[in-house]
Chains A and B, each alone.
Chain A
């Protein structure tokens, strides 16, 4: 029930926000010299002449049966448009997140195990840098090294999954790395501080008194307890990665969701913007829901009897 309420509230907010944005899609499509009666006719055709309440109900009831409307600029159903972009954005986000986890967890654990030593200081310095470096700049650096000099992968564009899974993954690899660096840096710091926090807990001392070594204590006792704050950050990061890749998508000429929204906004293709934002809201709620389930799997205190 909370799920439905959240979505309904979000849809209303999105609709009102977009209504407030200046700019008439019909005027934008016809250019500045359009005759008033042509404009009126187009507005009627697009359904923009009806009052906002009616249009809101139309939009929401459409979505309920899977009809997201037709893009003003592309003249194709929004659902088609979005799903074509989603097959790029979703794998990209997943890859970036996996990379981020694969880098951050070992790095964070390593740093926590050697707190205050050179390795810890070094890792923390690198993550500081990783957060500070703008990811588009790093992306360009990656292109220069791996695409232009070494020619291991192409500099941009997406061949489509028809070209084969390997080709697809290769095309997404550099953008995923560019996205992952910042996320991994943040996550590594969270992993480290969460671990250091759990390492001061009484049960760690109990486990040490049982005869566990520092390393065994870290792996068997501290790690799982430290996962709770880490999961929270992971959830936020995934939501961000799905739509937050606009700049990276532009650097690599990827037909992703971020670019779709960006184009939608500049071209006043409001129906596309509305639908994509709605989809993102849905994704964020889903991710949070999954994070909650993961909490319960990790922590028996959160399970209901």
Chain B
């Protein structure tokens, strides 16, 4: 069979420029029918632009050169009408954002059926029937309201299934999946990836799987191309890529992804710093009458937790399990329905509330770092002013030179310069912004820092640096961390102890290695199994 040698997708010398900046640089890529091909790289490496160029969906400001052949047909020379005919019929694409990538005003059935109706002369009923069968194939069954449901009535994972259904409705030869599971929970991610790879095999569809997550590719892709600043620096069979690590950049990526900061030695008899006792948190149900008192939805149910001085505890769970709500309750941002929170010997929160003064006294001892390194800063304030922000909540605010010194100390300790204080937040990269967020948390010399998905949005190499920084700060200042995350690799890297949370309750607690290597609760086992991991023997 010489057909194997003729690739389905053949990209030759593809270059993409936006405003005379080269985004993709003479890229060559070949995909075989039925194969899953991984495209790895950090943000800004040009992965998504490559995908959009193949689809002919580059933004108007971008210009592309080179050739893209799909089954021998040159896409780059097609006009938009020609591309419209090919998109959706011969090739489909799914995107990262399951929350926004579907039209909120259109039923899911109509959105899947639209693919069919646009390309074929199928009537209304027949295209709906096709939509129903494709939705059924991706696991959205037509029971109850079925096709008539709107995107907002579905969970993130279900929406991503609808995305897949509308992309594969006409059984295209090529499917491009751009970070299809990045916004999803690990167990959902596992099932979506299984579905995608199953479909690729079943329908002999080539799939270009674009992700920053090497572990995902290790498990699912046959071949992997690694991209760095617009170019493919290495391409190989998956196993060979991980085993040989030929190219320097590939080595950096792999070592960052599996990076473990130096373990912090800790005295075992440290006293408890944070104590959470039988805490419940909930909301009043919307629409509930003022007079029915128990119409509340409990998010966190009767949980107890303690963090010792200098200890790092990870709180793990999927979205909606209540981990962020618990963090907010510890910070005093949510009233408690029951239980109490004690920090450094002071009770800071209890059901029924405490006077403001009780929280004020110890507020400086506890700080927080959030996920979004950009959204959590006021863009119009200088970095120095942003870093000094936590002082506003304290009874004694340092002034003049003292304030300047405190800010300078904080900036230096996260690896920034004192002059950076006069700049504004948009002048910094994502990793630097997260350093500024950490500096802001450090400025009051806290004992406990709560990190809510603080490294989730960062690229692996930056993430490795931030994790190192956190480990270093912890050793230096004897800090305690409460690390909220869904990423077990991060847990392994930073936590002494791990607490697994599901549906508002703790299902398992214990030392990190024990919980992750020998999980006792069924849910923990599920989580560990679903978390993608590069096979250790490949890295030996």
Contacts and interface: CB of A to CB of B under 8 A. Distances in A.
Given A211-B87, A213-B80, A201 B100 contact: yes
B95 A202 contact: yes
Interface stretch (B111-119, B192-200, B203-211, B357-365): B111-119
Interface string A195-224: 000000111011111111110100011001
A205 B93 CA distance: 10
A220 B100 CA distance: 17
Interface residues of B, number: 30
Given A210-B166, A212-B118, A300-B152, A221 B87 contact: no
B100 A202 contact: yes
Interface in B43-88: 55, 57, 80-81, 84-88
A204 to B, nearest CB: 8
A115 B115 CA distance: 27
Given A299-B105, A300-B150, A207 B114 contact: yes
Contact of A211 (B88, B97, B102): B88
B231 interface: no
Given A206-B163, A210-B114, A225 B103 contact: yes
A220 B86 CA distance: 19
Q: Which of B80, B92, B118, B166 has most chain A Cβ within 10 Å?
A: B118
B57 A213 contact: no
A301 interface: yes
Contact of A206 (B81, B95, B105, B152): B95
B104 interface: yes
Given A210-B115, A210-B166, A211-B119, A301 B84 contact: no
Interface in B2-53: none
Nearest to B93: A209
A209 B152 CA distance: 21
Q: Is the interface of A mostly helix, strand, loop or mixed?
A: helix
A213 B78 CA distance: 14
A211 B89 CA distance: 7
B167 interface: yes
A298 B115 CA distance: 22
Contacts of A206: 95, 101-103, 163, 166
A13 to B, nearest CB: 28
B150 A216 contact: no
A201 B100 CA distance: 7
Contacts of A220: 114
Contacts of A214: 80
Contact of B101 (A203, A213, A216, A299): A203
A206 B180 CA distance: 13
Contact of B118 (A202, A205, A210): A210
Q: Which of A206, A212, A221 has most chain B Cβ within 10 Å?
A: A206
A211 B167 CA distance: 10
B57 A209 contact: yes
Contact of A205 (B80, B101, B150): B101
A209 B105 contact: no
Contacts of B100: 201-203
30 contacts: A201-B100, A202-B95, A202-B100, A202-B101, A203-B102, A205-B101, A206-B102, A206-B103, A206-B163, A206-B166, A207-B114, A209-B55, A209-B88, A210-B87, A210-B118, A211-B84, A211-B87, A211-B118, A211-B119, A212-B88, A212-B118, A213-B80, A213-B84, A220-B114, A221-B106, A225-B103, A225-B105, A299-B104, A301-B150, A301-B152
Interface of A: 201-203, 205-214, 216, 220-221, 224-225, 298-301
